[in-house]
Amino acid sequence: MPYPLDHRRQTRTRIVTAARKLFNRNGFDGVTIGQIMEEASLTHGGFYRHFTSKSDLYAEVLDCFFTNPEWSCGWKGMEEFDDAAELAPQIVRAYLSNAHFEDVENACPMVALPSDVARASANAKRAYQAAFEGMVQILEQGADAPSRASALAIAALCVGGMVIARASDDRVLGDELRQAAMMVALKLGGWDSEPPPPRVKTPDFNSADSGP
* pLDDT tens per residue across all 212 residues of the chain: 455 667 888 999 899 989 989 998 888 888 999 999 999 999 998 999 999 988 888 888 887 766 665 666 566 556 667 777 788 898 899 899 998 898 888 888 888 888 888 887 888 888 889 889 989 998 998 778 899 999 999 999 999 999 999 999 999 999 999 999 999 999 999 998 655 544 444 444 444 444 43
Sign of CA dihedral 104, 106, 108, 110: positive
The CATH 1.10.10.60 domain(s) of the chain lie at: 7-61
Q: How far is CA 7 from the centre of its chain?
A: 25
Q: How confident is the model at residue 67, as a pLDDT?
A: 66
CA separation for the pair 16, 99 (Å, rounded): 22
pLDDT value of position 101: 92
Give the up-direction half-sphere exposure of residue 37: CA atoms within 13 A in the CB hemisphere: 15
pLDDT of residue 69: 59
Query: 81 to each of 34, 105, 168, how far by Cα in Å?
Result: 36, 21, 29
Residue 88: the pLDDT is 87
Query: What pLDDT score was predicted for residue 207?
Result: 45
pLDDT value of residue 32: 94
Residue ranges matching CATH 1.10.357.10 in the chain: 87-189
What's the predicted TM-score (pTM) here?
0.77
Which CATH number does 7-61 carry?
1.10.10.60
Residue 205 is predicted with a pLDDT of 40
CATH for 87-189? Answer: 1.10.357.10
Would you say 205 and 74 are in contact if contact means Cβ atoms under 8 Å apart? yes
pLDDT of residue 199: 45
